[in-house]
Structure 1
Amino acid sequence: MLTKRYVPCFIVALLLLSGCLFSGSELKRTVLAPEGATSLSLSRDGRFAIYHSTIQGIVLWDIQQNKKLADFGSQDPHHNTVLSSKISDNGRYAITATAQNFAVWDLAWGQSEGLWSISDGIIRDVALANNGQHALLALSNGKALYIDLGTGRRLEFLAHREKVNSVAISPNGRYALSGGNDYFAYLWDTQSGQVLYSFEHDSRISRVSLQRDGKLAMTADGGNDITIWDLTTGEQQASLAVRLRQQNLSSARFSDDGNMLVTGTPSRRVELWDTATGDNIGRWEAAPQQDTRPPAAVVYDVAITPEGLVTSGTSAGIVQLWTTE
């Protein structure tokens, strides 16, 4: 009798830990790069994607109409691999980066705004403000580098003591959030470099995100500590109820109103969270890249559509749209 009673509970526990329970269903799947993508970013509303593959180069795609809008080709003359990218909050501009250089693209006109090189570190992450001129880079040398591309002004943020892994910038370019291997994330002023808030974790910080109105921030480390911060006070608002051990995040984005956060992991997992309580309110598993064993895909970016649907884009070169019911 004891065996019969405990075995079902053990099975349920295994299912919960392995992430086999998923909610909602897939509404749409768009295969952009069957060969796989080295980077992929979504617009805030999930309608557009910019991605790079070794075969296609850099491409801008309209997900809603399922058509190519621009073919930018290689970022530089040496055909270096694009490893990170980001579309500005208003969807007008995008930034793409290799390990040593970055480019800004005007998505409305389908043209390059310029190519810039970095000589004193490896680019690990990028962010771009709405005007397409305020760029933010996470560097391997421990610097977060803010650049005004219009004036050439550079500000090196030096508070981090180790590699900077993730950065985010406010839509107006005034505030930056950076997180690194030194277990710290900092919210700072891009005009003065002054630290406004510091957020300490127990392990290296892998991902940061800013809510578009500047009211909330998210910081996530290599363990299970994913925290929502109230930026009006600098205090913790919620800690996400993570079920998996050592769940790293590869992407995260707040809903426009800040009430929800959608996250992605390097292991195909897409999840939706209540930012007030930290409760999980939805989870899905992204499609793997074809012919990969074991099935694999990194969730490069996530978004929430105006209708409240969840969108994910992965290293498989696939964008998927999910219901939240």
Structure 2
Amino acid sequence: RAAGYEIVAPQVGELVTSLDMAGASLTVTWLDEELERLWCAPAQAPALSVGEVIATTAAPVYEVPEDEVADYSGTPQPAQDAGQKVAALIEAVRDALAGAEAELGRIDAIAGDGDHGTGMVNGSVAAARAARAAADAGAGAASTLAAAGGAWADRAGGTSGVIWGVLLHAFADQLGDQDTPSAQQVAAGAGASVEAVQRLAGARVGNKTMLDAQVPFAEKLAERVGAGDDLKSAWAAAAQASTEAAEATRDLRPQIGRARPLAERSLGHPDAGAISLALVTRTIAD
């Protein structure tokens, strides 16, 4: 006001929140006559109420129709056993991410929201619950991993939650539900997950994102499986490549995403998404 501006109906509160992110933001927009009329009009939403409360009726509770409930009957026993193993792996990932939550948040806060650890924990907890439910119902590896991906995307929040959902779904599509997945199918799943993330995020290696750890993992896994290594040793080698690549992101500047405006601050620190992906690969290797 001291500068000569007229302030119209300011709103102060928790209006656009991001998980457990600390801090505050200020948004200013210029109003014309139409925008001012709309801005001051009565409205009611979960995070914003203006004017008199608008009468509402509760939405009906949605019941999943029986024909939409997943039916895993008829899944061969070897495939069911594989589904159980996938669920156990997701549970191990959940526990590892819970232990790393604070550190992932610290790394992310250097040039971002600081909520990466919280998002990864929220996503993996939901994914583990969904994977266990699917596996116990008789799902194979593909359906168990797909259930985990859907739950991760639904519950994680933020961009990384959507990306992990897409990643796991693409991986699952290569595994099948009729037998124990082969090493070649698992390697194909890793490659498909890279392609899916690249399509969604528009990122490439060198942009300082999770892809900087994901691509080396998929490439090393395919290389070692192609050379005849068993899945366990091939995965371990790929996890090591992913870990080294994730650590090397400390020398990169962010090229896309929220961290790009703070590129200089990010220099010298690894990317949180790459670090968490490498942690997931190591956890599964172990």
TM bucket by the smaller chain?
A: under 0.3
Which protein is richer in helix relative to its size?
A: 2
TM-score (norm 2): 0.27
TM-score (norm 1): 0.24
Which protein is richer in strand relative to its size?
A: 1
